[in-house]
Every structure is written in structure tokens, then in C-alpha cells.
Amino acid sequence: MSGRWKNDLKYSDVTPKADYLNRREIMAGLAGVGLATLAGPAVAEAFKPNTLEEITSYNNFYEFGTGKDDPAKHAHSLTTDPWSVQIDGLVENPGDYSLADVLDGMEIEERVYRFRCVEAWSMVVPWNGFELGDLLAKVGVKPEAKYVYFETLVRPEEMPGQRRAILDWPYREGLRLDEAMHPLTMIATGIYGETLPKQNGAPLRLVVPWKYGFKSIKSIVRISLMDKQPEATWNMQNAREYGFYSNVNPSVDHPRWSQATERRVGGGLFSKRVPTLMFNGYEEQVAGLYAGMDLSKLF
């Protein structure tokens, strides 16, 4: 896929502002909103966004604790202003960029993406943000660069989960350069038209909708262009269970559970499980990135 991806489905199309500010149920009737223009499965129910409350209260963010409700409980302690991002490695214009510098010239868009966790739960999130490729173009990618590496903030005085050796801090992630430059890959700055909540990775988080959620690194403070595959935290932690690519693939099971089905957040404990979609429903847009690869080995 080449060229800029056009998304005509916005948060304002699917949810009245009064509804989401009051944290009410998401309205139905998405079928006539132009789903054909949205990358992903053309199924109205698949893109019915979760409520703001669900999106902000059920999170994985180990820097604040291992419980799904820990980020919402503890992330208020995080200072996000001022904020800077170190951009280095194989770039033409390396440096420490303030948040304002990062956002300068970026086109903030509204995008509704499916989100799939390796633990077999899913949700739909109306993100606001910009294409990562636009930022990389601004700093200038050198020809020898093949990968993009990311790091999360380390600040244990504000992030209580970092006071324990749960993981080898800082949290690290990486993408192949063509994945990073794909028009679906974005840096999120908000949800539902509002500033990105701290428990969701403020002020800048990666969103790669065809990969499992742990690839979408939060509270980014470093972006580095490399010529070799970078470290990725969960792959470092347990390579048998977490591959570098981490594409949503229902035919490749996690060693401790099946990935063939999923349960939607907000549907209740006994909600019906539904089949997991290849590449989380974005197969048409991204399958070409992996042509010729054995995705059962390069998982």
C-alpha cells in the first residue's frame, strides 16, 4: 500500500460528544457511516467504539502496576508537561525534541481502530494523532536505516510499577521501517477528541492496529533509527511466547492459550467469544508487508 491513507470515519460520526463526555453507552447505527472508507473489517459491530470509561479503565501499563485497573488508579502521578523525545540514530536531524517540536507540522487526524490484546480481549478506540511516517520524514531517515526503536519513560518516583523488577526497564519496542512508515501506523495524542489520558500512554503512544497491543508502546521518550533489529521488551522477557513481529494471527497460539477467538471489553464476563481476524482485520492493507515470510516462525 502506498500513498496517504484516507479515513472518513471520525469519532464525531460514531458518537455524539455529549454521550462520550457523560460516559454513556455508545450509540448504534454505524452501518451507514461509510465503513467502506475505513481500513479493516467492513462489519459495523466490529467498529462500534468502546466507551471512554472502558478505554481508560481497562489497561495494560506495567509501569503503574500489573492489574488492569492499576494505570487508572496510579497514572495521575505522572508529569507530562514538560515532555521531550530524543530522536537519534540513523536520522538526518537528531536531537531532543520538545512535545511542541514533535507536533509542529503534524496533521492530527481522527481514526477508529480495532485493538487486540494477546490475552484475547479486544476493544475499538477512536484515536487522535498523526502518522508516524510523517514524523520520520521530518527528522530525515538515512538510507541504511531498517528499523525503528522506541523507549518508554523511566521515572519510578511517579511510576510505581517501576519500583519492582517486573520487567527490565525501560520498556522497549521496535518495528521494521516499512511497518513504521505504513500509513496505518500512528502516534496517538488523544482519544475521542480529548487529550490522551495518562493511563493510555500520554502524551505520545504508538498505535499499530494489526499487531497485539503490547507493541503499542506508551509515553514515548526515545525514537531511534537502526540498521539492526532492536530489542523489544516482551520478546526479551520470553521469546517463546512473544515474537518480535507480534502480528495478530489466529492460527498461531500463545503457548498458554488460543488466539483463535476473542472477547470484547465491555461485553461482560460471559460475553460471546468471536473469531479473531487475521492481522486484526487489516489483512488487505498489511499482508503484503509479510509476503514470503513464515508467520508461524516469525510471529
pLDDT tens per residue, range 256-298: 999 999 999 988 767 789 999 999 999 999 999 999 999 999 9
Domain ranges in the chain are: 11-290
Q: What is the pLDDT of residue 110?
A: 96
C-alpha grid cell, residue 203 = 502524551
CATH class given for the domain over 11-290: alpha beta
Per-residue pLDDT of 120-150, as tens digits, reads 999 999 999 999 999 999 999 999 999 999 9
Q: Could you say which DSSP state residue 72 is in? A: H
d(CA 211, CA 231): 17
Per-residue pLDDT of 171-194, as tens digits, reads 999 999 999 999 999 999 999 999
Mean pLDDT, the chain, integer: 88
Confidence of residue 30 (pLDDT cuts 50, 70, 90): very low
* Whether the Cβ atoms of residue 124 and residue 45 lie closer than 8 Å to each other: no
Cis amide leading into 203 (omega within 30): yes
Q: What is the mean pLDDT of residues 3-23?
A: 49
Per-residue pLDDT of 145-167, as tens digits, reads 999 999 999 999 999 999 999 99
Match 487522535 to its residue by C-alpha cell: 128
Q: What is the pLDDT of residue 47?
A: 65
